Structure 1
Amino acid sequence: MLLFSLVNCKQGNAAKNGNKKERISFKPVFDINYIEVARRLDNGLSFNEDGYQLEPTWQIKFVSDDSASIYSPTKKASINFPMARGIDSIFYAAKVFFKVKKITRDSMLLQLIEAKEDSIDLRGAKLYMTFYAEKFIKDVVHKDLATLKAPTWRDTMFVKNLTDSAEKDYSKAFFARQPAVVSSKSSSVKVETLHVTGNILETNPTDNDYMYPTFNISIKHAKKDFYYSFSVTVDSRGGLHYEKPMVPGNNLYYISHSKAILDKYLKRYLNVKPGSTLGMVHPSSIYLHVRGKKDM
């Protein structure tokens, strides 16, 4: 319903202005397998200030003007999705709006567009996806996909600057692309890493796995039963620093007791390998659900 209201609204405005525009047609590029090789912000970077990495993961083939075949990394197969076309080179497929900036039989540049209620935002944050045709990669580019998709030196310098800032101020800790790893060094403490199941178009693990690495921790032989949820900064040496509780409000009792759990149990009985991005170890956050069980 949203899609058709957006398309109709755009077409209605064009007609009122006497500016008749045709819908984009993909007929000249039917059945060409396009592989995404870069996904970047308008500043040319594939990382933002939170450490989130824009990864090129899509493969798309336009089967017709109303159908696109998109590869699912989770299913390891291509899936046909219905596609709707609007004016101004805008189309909609797999629950995403795109604007075609450039398309040839060799390559394609798409802009991701955000939908807000009954309109689409063309003025917000710019995010671009670059695709090469599979045949173009094989016959002309002569590079493997890992090389084509690799972060640039500008990405590396950007992450280095983030790392330098976070080392000076832990409040500037950012997502670690290789998240911190937590394990137990005591038979009385059990650690379980939680994983988020993504949708069929996401890679595995999903973004949430590195953005919000979460652990269930069970402690036996505690002095009393307890359960606390809180976030912690892992510094570049694996040290743990209390951040904040993961419950509403500013409960001082909850904060003081969860800090005590961190100091008394977790710092003593956990092994923590710090997170890293592009080979650089840096401070990052982890999220803990800690349950203590008193002996019966």
Structure 2
Amino acid sequence: MSVTYKNALILLITSISIITACKYRSQRPGHGEKPITSFKSVEGITFIEVSRRQKSNGLSYNEYGYHLTPDWRLRFVSSDSAALYSPQKDAYYNFPLALGTDSVFNIAHAFLKMKKISKDSLVFELLEAQGDSIDIHKSRVVMKLYSEPYIKRTGKDLKQLQAASKKDTLFVRGLVNKANADIKKAFAAANPVQLISKNPNLQVTKRKTKPSLLDNKYATDDDYLTPTYDIVIHKAYQDFDYSFEATVDSAGVWHYNKPLVPFLGDDDAQANYIKVSTAIMNTYLKMFMTTIPGETLGMKQASTISVNIKGIKAAK
């Protein structure tokens, strides 16, 4: 997935000054300014996101395995602030709420457009950002939220509401079938590859992002889109350090892809690097680890991972 597309989905924009400093005018002929939007009628009500889908096809997954996870919980506190829930802190934190015209607003670095508002539900569209500007008539993602009172009153199950749709499942199954028939079509697994050491001389650590609403680190997508593992092997045949990309197929078998270091045109050095790191993959990693393939919606699949392997000749 391209950086541009990913940024458009997440909409991490560095400033909210645009929406507070100016009034939006429609670019369509015959339309003028519209009233500033208001959440006065739903202030104090907690809303939970139940779906986040692509506007074009209704799917929450794309061909790269990117999943639009419905994870917002919010309530509008006043005309200029809203509270967002942080699962890491298990608490709500207030953020500035900037209201614009034509149902546009900004919260936590995301520009959104209100499509539906009631005490039972909210529907927003995430607006696309291009540099320091937004197009208020163009969006790719639709967010739907239900209020806590509505969920309790109707007896709806939150996990079922947030679960993948049948359409999502059929789409992902198609991706899985293609990837398992041809590992060149591998895609990111929602539950990435698991590497489990079965030898005390090998330690493996999967890198993990720590999201935080407080310092504007929201996304943990790279944890599954580009999973990276740091592996240390003690009592190795010699000291070494290699980084490479590999694909793990649906049976847990490794397939070497490419080194992750530059060689600046030195073909001999590159060939030797690939030869030795492939040998390490086929010996130490297969002998000292159990590899569990990645999966999405319960389906095992081929997916790509990055590994950094450090060999230490001395014992621990």
TM-score, normalising length: structure 2: 0.85
SS at match of 1:55: coil
Structure 2 unaligned blocks of 5 or more:
1-13
The answer to whether the Cα contact below 8 Å between 1:73 and 1:204 also exists between their aligned partners in 2 is: no
Counterpart-to-counterpart distance in 2, 1:175 and 1:18: 43
1:87 pairs with 2:87: no
Match of residue 3 from structure 2: none
Single out whichever of 145-154 and 195-204 deviates more from structure 2. Answer: 195-204
Q: For 1:264, which of 276, 280, 283 is the aligned residue?
A: 283
1:73 pairs with 2:87: yes
Paired residues for 1:1-296 under 5 Å: 2-6=15-19, 8=21, 10-11=23-24, 19-42=32-55, 43-122=57-136, 126-140=140-154, 142-200=155-213, 206-249=220-263, 251-295=270-314
Percentage of matched positions with identical amino acids = 43
Q: How many residues align?
A: 294
Post-superposition Cα deviations, 1:17-66, rounded to whole Å, max 9, x if no partner, equal 88232110111121121111111111111111111211111111111121
Counterpart-to-counterpart distance in 1, 2:31 and 2:182: 57
Shift of 1:270: 1.8
Counterpart-to-counterpart distance in 2, 1:244 and 1:123: 42
SS at match of 1:126: strand
The answer to whether the Cα contact below 8 Å between 1:74 and 1:204 also exists between their aligned partners in 2 is: no
Counterpart-to-counterpart distance in 2, 1:26 and 1:272: 50
The answer to whether the Cα contact below 8 Å between 1:73 and 1:200 also exists between their aligned partners in 2 is: no
Shift of 1:245: 1.7
Shift of 1:122: 4.5
Post-superposition Cα deviations, 1:210-241, rounded to whole Å, max 9, x if no partner, equal 22322211122323211011121111111111
Counterpart-to-counterpart distance in 2, 1:178 and 1:231: 18
The answer to whether the Cα contact below 8 Å between 2:247 and 2:303 also exists between their aligned partners in 1 is: yes
Counterpart-to-counterpart distance in 2, 1:221 and 1:18: 73
SS at match of 1:49: coil
Q: CA RMSD in A?
A: 2.6
- Paired AA for residue 167 in structure 1: N
Counterpart-to-counterpart distance in 1, 2:279 and 2:136: 49
Counterpart-to-counterpart distance in 1, 2:314 and 2:42: 68
Counterpart-to-counterpart distance in 1, 2:219 and 2:105: 28
